[in-house]
Amino acid sequence: TNYLVSVDQFNNEDVMQFLHLAQAFKQGLTVTLNRPAFAMDLFFENSTRTHTSFEMAERRLGMQVIPFDPKTSSVTKGESLLDTLKTIQAIGVDLAVIRHPQDDYYQPLIEAGLPMALINAGDGSGQHPSQSLLDMLTIYEEFGHFDGLKIAIVGDLQHSRVARSNMELLTQLGAEVYFSGPKAWFNDDFAAYGTYAPIDDLVGQMDVMMLLRVQHERLTTTNNESFDASAYHEKYGLTNARAAKMPATSIIMHPAPVNRGVELASDLVEAPQSRIFQQMTNGMYIRMAMVAYVLVQQGILNADQLKGVQ
């Protein structure tokens, strides 16, 4: 397929292929494209990591990147996303990477059967497949496997496309998922993948403490006005006292951006057990692997250049 939009598309073998390809790029694998190829990254929601690392990945693979700014585009005149995609395809763009606030925005684009490649860089509270794969790479680099690992996903579950993507892939790969944070943000969708427990019951037993950002931009005005950062940290956050109870071999993850002092104590971001910056580095290599995959599907990159990667 030319579309990488949801982790639902990936079986365990697919995941491992992306991880091994990302590791090969990390170890210095380079490729040459068959012809000039053009990418456009269309971000209708703000981003630092995902946007810049996709652009870095595209450039490192030899693609040329055409800028797109939603605020100055004809989307402001009412042009639909589908018409925007048809337009950029008509001018010769081979790959669109899209982040959009609407869940499943990609469905009508897929149904329209556009021949260009499409990668989802995050849809509303739906999916974030590149984040999920970079998280899998970070865990795989640390432990060498997923089977039986205990992983707590803690925080703003209800708004989190990272939680949704990761609970699916982690359980599929054999890890045990636990959830924590405000109980009101835990619902049946999550219960199907793991049990809820207070953070104090989990912190001493987990291999991975994966914190999620409180998404103020998605909280309702009423909720947001009543949000007390310090109370949240004390009740649900990874405080220094809680971190001291983590097993020596366990790690701290967070997709970032971090609300320092809220989801976790500020100095834990740079603590020896933190893999937060490694996650960002891995994000660039995972995105190289995803872009390379769709370039092979489009005949722009010969699969034999990836040979030896298993």
Smallest gap from residue 107 Cβ to ligand CP (A): 21
Smallest gap from residue 54 Cβ to ligand CP (A): 9
Alpha carbons 6 and 122: distance in angstroms, whole number = 9
Alpha carbons 107 and 46: distance in angstroms, whole number = 21
Residue nearer to ligand CP on the CB measure, 117 or 134: 134
49 in a known ligand binding site: yes
Residue nearer to ligand CP on the CB measure, 102 or 240: 102
Name which of 186, 216, 188 is nearest 199 in CA terms. 186
Residue nearer to ligand CP on the CB measure, 155 or 255: 255
Residue nearer to ligand CP on the CB measure, 128 or 242: 128
128 in a known ligand binding site: yes
Smallest gap from residue 87 Cβ to ligand CP (A): 25
Smallest gap from residue 291 Cβ to ligand CP (A): 16
Question: Which two three-digit tokens encode residue 81?
Answer: 């996303």
Smallest gap from residue 131 Cβ to ligand CP (A): 5
Question: Which two three-digit tokens encode residue 269?
Answer: 């971001």
Question: Which residue in this structure is represented by tokens 């207070």?
Answer: 198
131 in a known ligand binding site: yes
Phi/psi region, residue 113 (left: phi>0; alpha: psi -120 to 50; beta: rest), is left
213 in a known ligand binding site: yes
164 in a known ligand binding site: no
Residue nearer to ligand CP on the CB measure, 127 or 131: 131
Note the residues at the interface with ligand CP (CB under 6 A).
Answer: 47-51, 131, 255-257
303 in a known ligand binding site: no
Smallest gap from residue 106 Cβ to ligand CP (A): 17
Core vs surface per residue 85-101: b (16+ CB within 10 A) or e: beebeeeebbbbbbbbe
Residue nearer to ligand CP on the CB measure, 50 or 127: 50
Q: What is the dihedral of CA 295, 296, 300, 304, to 10 degrees?
A: 140
Burial of 304 (0-12, 13-18, 19+ CB in 10 A): exposed
Alpha carbons 157 and 226: distance in angstroms, whole number = 18
77 in a known ligand binding site: yes
Provide the annotated binding site for L-aspartate.
77, 161, 213
Provide the annotated binding site for carbamoyl phosphate.
49-50, 99, 128, 131, 256-257
